[in-house]
Amino acid sequence: MFQSPEYSSTLSLKLSEVLEDVGVNEEVVMKRRRVFMLKENIQTVTWRSLCDNSTTYYFGSQSEGTTTEGLHSDTDLLHVNYNSNVIQDWSEWKQNKRNLLMIQDENVTPGYCFLQLVRSDESLFETIIPNEYFIGDSKGRVLLKNTILNGLHEDAERHGPSNVLPEKEGYSSIDIVFGEPCYSVPQSALHSLDRQSIGRWPTSEMIRYAFSNGCFVVGASSKISTYPELEWRISTSLGERCYMFNLNIAKLHCYVLLKIILKSFLTPERESALSSLMCKTIVLHCIQNTDRFIWKKNNIFTCLTYCLLELQSYIQNENCPHFIIPENNLMAGQFSAEEKLDILWKISDIIQSDGRCLLRIRIDDIGNRLKVKFQTDRVIPDGMLTPRLINENITSLLFMNLAQTISSCQLRILYFLQEKQLNLKQCILKLANYSVHGSRLEQLASQCLVPFLYSTLGSIMVSSNIRQNTAIQYQALKLFSLGLNSDETSGRLKLASMLYCVGDMDWIEWSSF
């Protein structure tokens, strides 16, 4: 089962090379993170400019940079409405908001909660059931049902907490989750602060940051829940993202390899039995419980084996404790006794293969790429993409994804302005305020949207002038100049159309634009 240190080190380094070739390298990882963090801010400042107190978050493999093209990872989007307020004690109650008390008692699965409605005008429990989304229980509590989230997105299908938009050409499928904010973390999560860490990870700074962001509750019940319509899952995604963003490339390689093995050998047809979250949780536990010096590129195979042994132990005990809320067993009700034996047998086979099973991996041509690394000439066979081409493909898809987000946000603004009769000037002022007083990413997000709105407002003003047969206002021309760089062509085409309509074909005056 165990090979020499030299074999393990050689295999580890070649595995690391293969993963970097298929896009799990520091450059691409950071590129993915920057794009998705910018998308977050573009969508959030859009909502805020439309007087909607919502925030968009991207979580999961795409935003962490822990995926490859062959894994076909979903895009996980969390939409949070901050007009709601989930509280754990009365000191967190806020006036004129929909306050919901988090209840964790003997009837609720650990890691989940009920949400009891609290009055918005004073800190007292609500006794009247306001609509069909609430229900009264035997204790007189008015509880919010998670079915309130059914059909929130007309093109999506509900799966657990997610409204799933199907995959389109060039884009992964999108899991849209609607969540409620809680500004503190559950008491069960606070107990994890006292855990001893052999690897001195996570650091106290990471824990402090992770816990300072509170948590969310999302509409999903446990597989073993007695009250499936009433349970809400407690999500610590912001804390988990903080931990993932602080992993070095060797740790990320180990996590991605574990996911690839899971998809290739363990659950090729039933992905829900073992999830990416379980893989992430196992890797985080292993990092915490081992010396930090072992997590290096020349030791990836040993780290991977350790993670597989840990996974084997969790499945044997049917208990995978959530990293931040250990009482939450991620494997509760996930597989039958037959599935358990089958997965355990497969894991044992993988471990005993001493890495030979890796040569059979088809995802991203991992197996064939590994064989090439062991050859002297290292000639890439015909049909196998070069690392440079893979990098270019990933980059182009990321920028297409970003462009699509900018375009959809611009259309959303125009739609809301028309439907809700909102003022375009006020919308522009709100966005422009972010470009001055916002964070670095908020400033960049604003700069992606404002030029387009400038040229749109200019078009509206010029159309009004032409219709009324009056002179074009200087302010409209100024707006066109500010919007010329909204994209490659549309800003200039709008200006050209306006000049043509007023009969001004003197382009020299506009050459400075």
Letter for the amino acid at 352?
Answer: Q
End-to-end CA distance of the chain: 69
Predicted pLDDT at 189 = 80
- Interatomic CA distance for residues 318 and 334, integer angstroms: 9
Q: Could you tell me if 286 and 311 are in contact, meaning their C-beta atoms sit under 8 angstroms apart?
A: no
My answer on whether 231 and 313 are in the same domain is no
Q: Could you tell me if 367 and 359 are in contact, meaning their C-beta atoms sit under 8 angstroms apart?
A: yes
In this structure, the number of other CB atoms found within 10 A of the CB of residue 49 comes to: 26
My answer on whether 77 and 208 are in the same domain is yes
- Interatomic CA distance for residues 319 and 507, integer angstroms: 71
Q: What tens digit of pLDDT does each residue of 402-427 get?
A: 999 999 998 898 888 777 666 788 88
My answer on whether 156 and 190 are in the same domain is yes
Among residues 224, 243, 262, the one where a domain terminates is 243
* Pick from 88, 45, 117: nearest CA to 234: 88
- Interatomic CA distance for residues 20 and 24, integer angstroms: 5
For residue 51, is it within any domain? no
DSSP state of 264: I
* Per-residue pLDDT of the chain in tens (513 residues, 90 and over written 9): 446 788 999 999 999 999 999 999 999 999 999 999 999 999 999 999 988 889 999 999 999 999 999 999 999 999 999 999 999 999 999 998 999 999 999 999 999 999 999 999 998 999 999 999 999 999 999 999 998 876 555 554 555 555 565 555 555 678 888 999 999 988 778 776 666 678 788 988 888 888 888 999 999 999 999 999 999 999 999 999 999 999 999 999 999 999 999 999 987 555 557 889 999 999 999 999 999 899 999 999 999 999 999 999 999 999 999 999 999 999 999 888 998 999 999 999 999 999 999 999 999 999 999 999 999 888 888 889 999 999 999 999 999 999 999 999 988 988 887 776 667 888 888 998 998 999 999 999 999 998 888 888 877 777 777 777 777 676 777 777 776 666 666 666 766 776 666 666 554 354 444
For residue 132, is it within any domain? yes
Among residues 204, 219, 243, the one where a domain terminates is 243
For residue 310, is it within any domain? yes
- Interatomic CA distance for residues 355 and 14, integer angstroms: 12
Residue ranges with strand state E in 82-209: 84-87, 98-103, 112-118, 134-136, 142-144, 157-159, 162-165, 174-182
My answer on whether 121 and 234 are in the same domain is yes
Letter for the amino acid at 240?
Answer: E
For residue 49, is it within any domain? no
My answer on whether 114 and 158 are in the same domain is yes
Residue ranges with strand state E in 334-407: none
Residue 27 phi/psi, 5° resolution? -65, -50
My answer on whether 251 and 372 are in the same domain is yes
Among residues 243, 270, 293, the one where a domain terminates is 243
Q: What tens digit of pLDDT does each residue of 342-383 get?
A: 999 999 999 999 999 999 999 999 999 999 999 988 888 888
Q: What is the DSSP string of 15-29?
A: HHHHHHHTT-SHHHH
Predicted pLDDT at 381 = 87
My answer on whether 456 and 426 are in the same domain is yes
My answer on whether 333 and 406 are in the same domain is no
285 lies in which domain range? 1-24+247-376
**Residue 205, token pair as written in the block:** 């700074």
- Interatomic CA distance for residues 221 and 205, integer angstroms: 32
User: Residue for token digits 């707006």?
Assistant: 479
For residue 55, is it within any domain? no
Handedness of CA 154, 159, 162, 165 (dihedral sign): negative
My answer on whether 235 and 105 are in the same domain is yes
User: Residue for token digits 């919010």?
Assistant: 144
My answer on whether 226 and 272 are in the same domain is no
For residue 42, is it within any domain? no
- Interatomic CA distance for residues 151 and 128, integer angstroms: 25
Predicted pLDDT at 170 = 52
My answer on whether 17 and 97 are in the same domain is no
User: Residue for token digits 């050859």?
Assistant: 375
My answer on whether 255 and 335 are in the same domain is yes
Residue 472: strand, helix, or coil: coil
**Residue 168, token pair as written in the block:** 């389109």
For residue 424, is it within any domain? yes
Predicted pLDDT at 274 = 84
Domain count within the chain: 3
For residue 65, is it within any domain? no
User: Residue for token digits 């890797």?
Assistant: 283
CB neighbour burial string for 291-310, b if at least 16 within 10 angstroms, e if fewer: eeeebbbebbbbbbbbbbeb
- Interatomic CA distance for residues 236 and 215, integer angstroms: 5
CB neighbour burial string for 326-351, b if at least 16 within 10 angstroms, e if fewer: bebbbbbebbeeeebeebeebbeebb
Global confidence as pTM? 0.89
Q: What tens digit of pLDDT does each residue of 462-511 get?
A: 777 777 777 767 677 777 777 666 666 666 676 677 666 666 655 435 44
- Interatomic CA distance for residues 312 and 316, integer angstroms: 6
Q: Identify the CATH number of the domain in which residue 251 sits.
A: 1.10.1410.40
- Interatomic CA distance for residues 461 and 501, integer angstroms: 13
Residue 248: strand, helix, or coil: coil
Q: What average pLDDT does the chain have?
A: 87
**Residue 62, token pair as written in the block:** 């795409």
- Interatomic CA distance for residues 482 and 313, integer angstroms: 61
